[in-house]
Amino acid sequence: MTERALAGIRILDLTQFEAGTSCTQLLGWLGADVIKVEPIGGEQSRRNRPEVPGLDATFFLLFNANKRSVTIDLKHPEGRALFLKLAESADVVVENFAPGLMERLGLGWDALRTVNPRLIFARLKGFGLSGPYHEYKSFDMVAQATGGVMSVTGFPDRDPLLCGANIGDSGAGVHMAAGIMAACIARQRTGEGQVVEVSMQEAVASLIRQRYVAHYRDGKPTPRRGNNAPPGAVPDGLYPCAPGGPNDYVYIYVQPMNQGMWEDFARAIGREDLLTDPRCVDAPTRWENVHVLNDIARAWTGARPKRLVMATLAKAGVPCGAVLDTGEVLDDPHLNARDAIATFDHPTRGRFRVPGCPIRLSASEPETTPPPLAGQHTDEVLAEVLGLSPDGVADLRTRGVV
């Protein structure tokens, strides 16, 4: 196998739950040596609604592949000193603790850059390191609320909805991964490290930039509009399909955005007569007859299974997508043909399938290795990085440092 893209980059990963762990997992997929530094007993998400008492929760497994685990008590003076020793040869430290915790541990930016001026200190917070909200704690749903996405998600006559994708957590994590790689490239020129800061609120606000089109066009906040795009395209939205089995998500999203795609849609459903129908002459006229055309679309989709509808329309050039549930995504023939679903054998949870790395590099293919058990690599890392002997590590363990 060729050398992976981020080979040689060592990351000390202090992250927990999702926002930070999604960032470090992505960097681990791309080849960085991610050393997850956890409290003795492991970080909190190992115990986040565990399916099997005493074993790592699925939540943890989903965000911690491609990492090594070291357990250190950072509140212990010797544990803090041990971490700073590890930081001397690290490239990046990543943390998403509550505001001020790193400083209270004596591991703030001043302490870290003193031991390693080349170190990149990546800090992912709910509201950043400054501003009126900087001391506030956050989770994904808080970021979605304050970043604006919740206000534009759902139907106009109902309450705002939480987006099903954790864009506050993983969205912020992807932004942080980009920032870390940018800082690594800058360090090649300057020789100096720096602080990389990502706010979950700001990441969400950035991800919904398209929603500000209506804001400026109409001169008022963008409304919720359910499953439909802005007025104009018809058909556009979610359409029912024939049931394909019990508990089947029998829907497809169809979106022919321009005149050519509309014509492709009409031909694909066998309604060439609509091409000369005065109700369909152009997009504004079709919008005036939206209810009639939606009934035509629903009648056609409702008589066919969603995968047949998707294949028929997509091959005709019409943008569309069947609504796949989580099991269907894991079993999707396209994703599996592309090896986008990764399988690993976990030492306590057995065989496990997860979505794999979404980034592909032609010369350095990512791989997925099992998430580590808590402290699984403590002896290995302390020997490799600090040169400690087995007896030295055993002594630290006896005294509760690791």
Query: Per-residue DSSP letters for 80-124?
Result: HHHHHHHHTT-SEEEE-PSTTHHHHTT-SHHHHHHH-TT-EEEEE
3 vs 136, more confident = 136
Q: Do residues 138 and 147 lie in contact, with contact meaning Cβ atoms separated by under 8 Å? A: no
Instruction: Give the residue range(s) of CATH 3.30.1540.10 domains in the chain.
Output: 237-331
Residue in 73, 91, 140, 169 annotated catalytic: 169
Residue 28's beta-bridge partner residues? none
Q: 0.95 cut: is pTM over it?
A: no
pLDDT of 229 > 70? The answer is no
Predicted pLDDT of residue 225? 87
* Alpha-carbon span 309 to 325, nearest angstrom: 17
Give SS3 for 38: strand
Predicted pLDDT of residue 232? 61
Give DSSP secondary structure letters for 166-229: -TTTHHHHHHHHHHHHHHHHHHHHH----EEEEEHHHHHHHHTGGGHHHHHHHTSPPPP-TT--
* Alpha-carbon span 184 to 244, nearest angstrom: 49
Predicted pLDDT of residue 247? 54
pLDDT of 2 > 80? The answer is no
pLDDT tens digit sequence for 4-34: 899 999 999 999 999 999 999 999 999 999 9
pLDDT tens digit sequence for 163-194: 999 999 999 999 999 999 999 999 999 999 99
Q: Do residues 346 and 371 lie in contact, with contact meaning Cβ atoms separated by under 8 Å? A: yes
Instruction: Give the residue range(s) of CATH 3.40.50.10540 domains in the chain.
Output: 10-207+339-398
pLDDT tens digit sequence for 326-337: 999 999 999 999
- Whether 169 is a known active-site residue: answer yes
Q: How confident is the model at residue 370 (pLDDT cuts 50, 70, 90)?
A: very high
How deeply is 228 buried, as exposed, middle or buried, from its count of CB atoms within 10 A (0-12, 13-18, 19+)?
middle
* Alpha-carbon span 157 to 220, nearest angstrom: 17
Average pLDDT of the chain? 93
Nearest to 38 by CA among 83, 103, 6: 83
Reading phi first (left if > 0) and then psi (alpha if -120 to 50, else beta), residue 191 is in left
- The H or E element containing residue 22 is helix 19-29
Q: What is the mean pLDDT of residues 311-318?
A: 96
Q: Do residues 368 and 29 lie in contact, with contact meaning Cβ atoms separated by under 8 Å? A: yes
Backbone dihedral angles phi then psi of residue 59, each to the nearest 5 degrees? -50, -45
How do beta strands 320-322 and 251-254 pair?
antiparallel
Nearest to 34 by CA among 401, 388, 360, 368: 368
Q: How many CB atoms are located within 10 Å of the residue 367 CB?
A: 16
* Alpha-carbon span 318 to 241, nearest angstrom: 17
Residue whose token pair is 């690993």: 344
pLDDT of 318 > 80? The answer is yes
SS3 content of the chain, % helix, strand, coil (to 5): 40, 15, 45
Q: What is the mean pLDDT of residues 72-86?
A: 97
* Alpha-carbon span 149 to 130, nearest angstrom: 22
Q: Pull the structure tokens for residue 43.
A: 């970080």
* Alpha-carbon span 383 to 305, nearest angstrom: 58
pLDDT tens digit sequence for 232-262: 677 888 999 998 655 566 889 998 888 999 9
Specify the CATH superfamily of domain 10-207+339-398: Crotonobetainyl-coa:carnitine coa-transferase; domain 1 (3.40.50.10540)
For the domain covering 237-331, report its CATH number: 3.30.1540.10
* Alpha-carbon span 285 to 277, nearest angstrom: 10
Q: What is the mean pLDDT of residues 386-390?
A: 95
pLDDT tens digit sequence for 268-290: 999 999 999 999 999 889 989 98
pLDDT of 231 > 70? The answer is no
Predicted pLDDT of residue 244? 63
Q: How confident is the model at residue 314 (pLDDT cuts 50, 70, 90)?
A: very high
Q: Pull the structure tokens for residue 349.
A: 């949870």
pLDDT tens digit sequence for 54-68: 899 999 999 999 999
Q: Pull the structure tokens for residue 276.
A: 């000369």
